[in-house]
Chain A
Amino acid sequence: MPKEVLIEVRGLKNQFGPNVIHEDLDLDIHRGEVLGIVGGSGTGKSVLLRSIVGLQAPRAGSVKVFGTDVRTASKAEMAKVENRWGVMFQDGALFSSLTVRENVEAPMRERTGLDPETRAALADLKIAMVGLPPKARSLYPSELSGGMRKRAGLARALALDPDIVFLDEPTAGLDPIGASEFDALIRNLQTSLGLTVFLVTHDLDTLHATCDRIAVLAERKVLVTGTIRELMEVDHPWVREYFHGPRAHAALLAAEG
């Protein structure tokens, strides 16, 4: 059975001044999968995420999310799409003048007509689901640790129970236990909610633990996609280095127990 394509990127080109980041980049994301995006620092993973969610106007190419072209969509069409995705930015991007609970409530306040009590209760639920302690609810982002900010960012991304979440390095800066809890959480949400996850990460353990498919960004495009097993066979210097380096072996051993 052909899988339903939620996001379709075709011929994407991104450029800052003379600096070409992406050229002729194609990528498909299917419903219900966890797609890992890997690539060296500065290969444009965050820029790819930004162009898919419409924050970065590409020079050329098309990006379709749920069949809607994010470049040409009208405001009303975009609002529908935005209701169905959640984004967690690399550095959290929490609203600094709101508490954690208010941050998580913010999308609900904008996009649903829920009463304040329900909103707060749902926000508390999301905060608990991402593993933040209850006392974090009323703290401001500047009073959180780096890892707690990540979790709060995820809670906000999940606020509207989206179909797809974009996570930019969710486990970077978490302690190993917290990181594996995070992996388990993403996997769990994926199975129970049928969530589709676009996951940018450098964390090999996360790749092993959560991803169904991995896309490698190199040479300005998506070089290859496939499962870890498939990628381990690929004959490209960077890919080989990445999946056969000492860290990769440790992660593989850990994953296979």
Chain B
Amino acid sequence: MSLRGRLTIETLPETQRSLGAAEAGGQIDMAAVEALDTAGAWALLQAQKRAEATGHALEIVNLSESHRHLLETVAAAMPEPERRRRTIPGRPDDGLANLGQEVAQGLRGSLTSVGFFGEVVAHLGALVLHPTRLKLTPLVHHMQEAGWNAVPIVSLMGFLIGIVLAFQGSTQLKPFGAEVYVVDLVAISILRELGILLTAIIVAGRSASAFTAAIGSMKMREEIDAMRVLGLDPIDRLVLPRLIALVLLLPALGFIASLAGLLGGGLMAWIDLGITPGMFRTQLLANTDVTHAIIGLVKAPFFAVIIAVIGCHQGMQVSGNAESLGSHTSRSVVQAIFLVIVVDAFFSIFFAVWGL
């Protein structure tokens, strides 16, 4: 048989089809072939191999000089076809094994998290002994990034929550003529719980992901290894500034959010129930104890530690590829928010038991 035209990657399917007839052996005349590339050469050699496998000889004749050269190059590189062993991870009959693996992996993950936390605490201890080791520039930078830049979103969130609480509270309390207790409702729930919890959740979304992405991409480009060989400790340089910045500023953010919440609640109470700002203030000072605000703020540093440690730890665990960066970033946000809520629940129980 004779081939004609272009035997290239664009025409590969047609070439393969016309070569299908040649498997019974014989000759392939290449005189009319205008262009040959590695894909075409591969198809020819593949046909030759198949013919040989069935005991026939397939000869390729009338090759131009450059085509013969190409055919030789490709023949020299022809890869052995490999047996593909495929393991399909999600196969249904592996369900139990998969579950076990996942649980084991999860446990191992939380163990390394605890290990990392311990390491950070050790470095913090060393820092207390040698406070000059803390670099101020990165600390201030992270305070701006994670703290100051979050002020607008956090205050808007607090303000809206205050409005929602006051509005919902007023519709519920009106039938009982207990409108004025809207003030207590808004103040206690925001100061004690919602202000700080929602701030922590927003900061977890903003900063835990930012920490993971920043540290993770440094990990990918071997910058962390470069720091280690230069004698710079990644925990001192990368983790501690972020941790300290958040511990210092999360209480402040929570406080701002709570104030904004009271403002929103007060506004809504004024519009909806006619509670004037003066009345709001009197009611607030008379009935809402300052312990509520303190209880709220006490939790903030704990949340900050959770967010910073998880964010940085997930960043450190990023391996060489972009996909792992993405999955660790999302994991860091999910874990941070989840743990913040769990710890908040423990605090509630703790304070309830103590009768606060």
Contact = CB atoms under 8 A, between A and B. Distances in A.
Interface residues of B, number: 31
Nearest to A108: B9
Interface in B24-80: 37-39, 42, 46, 66-67, 69-70, 72-74, 77-80
Contacts of B319: 142
A118 B9 CA distance: 10
Contacts of A188: 69, 73
B321 interface: yes
Nearest to A124: B79
B79 A127 contact: yes
A153 interface: no
B308 to A, nearest CB: 27
Interface of B is mostly: helix
In the complex, which of the residues B66, B70, B79, B320 has the most CB atoms of chain A within 10 Å of its own CB atom? B79
B152 interface: no
A161 B322 contact: no
In the complex, which of the residues B13, B39, B66, B324 has the most CB atoms of chain A within 10 Å of its own CB atom? B39
Contacts of A95: 322
Contact of B77 (A112, A129, A142, A160): A129
Interface in A144-170: 158, 160-161
A183 to B, nearest CB: 15
A114 B12 contact: yes
Contacts of B320: 96, 140-143
B42 A140 contact: no
A96 B38 contact: no
Contacts of A142: 220, 319-321
A192 B70 contact: yes
B38 A125 contact: yes
Interface string B64-106: 0011011011100111111000000000000000000000000
A115 B29 CA distance: 27
B153 to A, nearest CB: 31
A191 B74 CA distance: 13
B79 A161 contact: no
Interface residues of A, number: 31
A96 B321 contact: yes
Interface string B111-139: 00000000000000000000000000000
B38 A118 contact: no
Contact of A134 (B38, B39, B82, B323): B82
B80 A125 contact: no
A194 interface: yes
Contact of A191 (B12, B66, B79): B66
A87 to B, nearest CB: 17
B321 A114 contact: no
Contact of B79 (A128, A140, A143, A193): A128
A141 B322 CA distance: 11
Interface string A8-49: 000000000000000000000000000000000000000000
A188 B73 CA distance: 8
B78 A128 contact: yes
Contacts of B46: 121
A122 interface: yes
Contact of B9 (A124, A140, A161, A194): A161
Contacts of A160: 9
A212 to B, nearest CB: 16
B9 A128 contact: no
A31 to B, nearest CB: 13
B321 A141 contact: yes
A219 to B, nearest CB: 33
Contacts of A118: 12, 16
Interface string A123-136: 01111110000100
Given A114-B13, A118-B12, 10 more contacts: A97-B322, A121-B46, A122-B42, A125-B74, A127-B79, A129-B73, A134-B80, A140-B321, A188-B69, A191-B69
Q: Which 8 pairs between the two chains have the least Cβ-Cβ distance? A: A142-B320, A192-B70, A96-B321, A161-B37, A97-B323, A124-B79, A128-B77, A192-B69
Interface of B: 8-10, 12-13, 16, 37-39, 42, 46, 66-67, 69-70, 72-74, 77-82, 220, 319-324
7 contacts: A96-B220, A96-B321, A122-B39, A124-B79, A160-B9, A161-B37, A193-B38
